[in-house]
């Protein structure tokens, strides 16, 4: 079987909704006391709740997704096929206190799925338990083999990429909300995941932050192959082309995605780059301008479809007033996809226009 055949079969399976991860999930929250470190669990509960049977944690955990609390054995009895580590902590490490629970889950018949930087296969107790129980250790931050170098060839189909003024401000949620809206309108569309939580939600994808830089564009091309002319791929963005640490993955994803349309995601309360307080946040206009200039290298027809504002810290009236002001100032649709409503419908219509 050639590599081209492998890639085509993978693409066909994804389009048919066949997951590449064992579902349903039991979400493991570890001993997390900060909601921000449980973003993987919350993302799965918000966007793949129908594929999550419950949650489990150990002493010290103070956060919850609101899903039923089930032990690994109870979850397996309820139909779960894997335990997902729903934590994205600093350094991406697997806590020593977690290991006994992960072994317990395998003994109950569950595979283990992780998106952390620490590899499951590097923990001897987990490897021994996997051999003994016949269960699988699945690290989603493992790129597939034989990723080609990007070639820049124009592909058929239509593509949208979410980009941002910074990291962690709504690129995944925006792409997922747009995908849901497209499907509801009868548009043939796929959500293309590029990060650990998105991959777990979609059941497959490309962990772009684990791809060697020379192959970033090729990985993006592989993620979103040729498609029918009326098909849309909604591609989850990563990082920001203005972020001193993560611009490389953002640019490779931009060039390889060849987006026809991009949506700028922005948190209006953020003034500096997250974790790099000496760098001011770029303006939305800066992002639009540079994305068009860089993105036109592989798609000269690239355009901005609108702005996604993260207004989670605003009340409804304040959020609407801000979005109205930004619409007038920028001359583009501006919406918070999580709030939805007429402004979100206008964003979708402008993308599809």
Q: What is the pLDDT of residues 143-180, one digit of tens each?
A: 988 999 999 999 999 999 999 999 989 999 999 999 99
pTM: 0.87
Collect the ranges in the chain with pLDDT lower than 70: 1-19, 90
pLDDT value of residue 2: 37
* CA dist., res. 235 & res. 221, Å (int): 11
Pick the CATH number of 17-139 from 1.20.120.430, 3.90.420.10, 3.40.50.720, 3.20.20.240: 3.40.50.720
CATH topology of domain 158-352: Rossmann fold (3.40.50)
pLDDT value of residue 89: 80
* CA dist., res. 10 & res. 216, Å (int): 19
* CB-based contact 10:94 (threshold 8 Å): no
CA atoms within 13 A on the CB side of 188: 10
- b/e string for 4-34 if b means 16 or more Cβ within 10 A? eeebeebbeebbeeeeebbbbbbbbbbebee
pLDDT value of residue 117: 86
SS3 86: coil
pLDDT value of residue 125: 97
- CATH 3.40.50.720 residue ranges of the chain are 17-139
pLDDT value of residue 229: 96
List the structure tokens of 249: 């993955």
* CB-based contact 347:305 (threshold 8 Å): yes
Q: Which residues are 262's β-sheet partners?
A: 161, 304
């Amino acid at each position: 079987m050639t590599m081209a055949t492998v890639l085509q079969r993978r693409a066909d399976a994804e389009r048919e909704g066949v997951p590449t991860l064992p579902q349903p999930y039991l979400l493991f929250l570890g001993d997390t006391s900060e909601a921000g470190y449980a973003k993987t669990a919350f993302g799965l509960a918000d966007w793949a709740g129908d594929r999550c049977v419950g949650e489990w944690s150990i002493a010290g955990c103070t956060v919850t997704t609101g899903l039923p609390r089930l032990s690994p054995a109870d979850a397996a009895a309820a139909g779960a096929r894997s335990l997902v580590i729903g934590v994205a902590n600093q350094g991406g490490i697997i806590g020593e206190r977690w290991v006994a629970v992960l072994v317990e889950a395998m003994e109950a018949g569950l595979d283990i799925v992780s998106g952390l930087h620490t590899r499951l296969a590097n923990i001897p107790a987990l490897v021994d338990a996997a051999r003994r129980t016949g269960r699988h250790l699945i690290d989603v931050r493992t790129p597939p083999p034989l990723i080609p170098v990007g070639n820049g060839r124009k592909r058929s189909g239509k593509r949208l990429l979410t980009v941002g003024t910074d990291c962690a401000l709504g690129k995944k949620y925006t792409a997922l909300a747009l995908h849901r809206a497209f499907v509801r309108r009868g548009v043939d569309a796929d959500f293309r995941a590029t990060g650990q939580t998105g991959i777990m939600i979609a059941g497959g994808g490309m962990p772009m932050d684990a791809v060697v830089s020379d192959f970033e564009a090729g990985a993006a091309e592989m993620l979103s192959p040729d498609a029918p002319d009326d098909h849309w791929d909604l591609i989850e963005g990563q990082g920001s082309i203005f972020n001193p640490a993560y611009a490389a993955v953002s640019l490779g994803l931009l060039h390889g995605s060849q987006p026809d349309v991009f949506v700028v995601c922005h948190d209006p309360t953020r003034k500096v780059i997250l974790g790099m307080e000496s760098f001011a946040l770029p303006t939305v206009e800066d992002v639009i301008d540079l994305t068009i200039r860089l993105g036109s290298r592989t798609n000269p027809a690239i355009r901005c479809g609108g702005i996604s504002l993260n207004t989670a810290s605003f009340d409804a009236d304040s959020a609407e007033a801000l979005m109205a002001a930004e619409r007038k100032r920028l001359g583009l649709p501006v919406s918070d996809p999580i709030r939805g409503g007429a402004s979100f419908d206008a964003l979708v219509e402008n993308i599809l226009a």
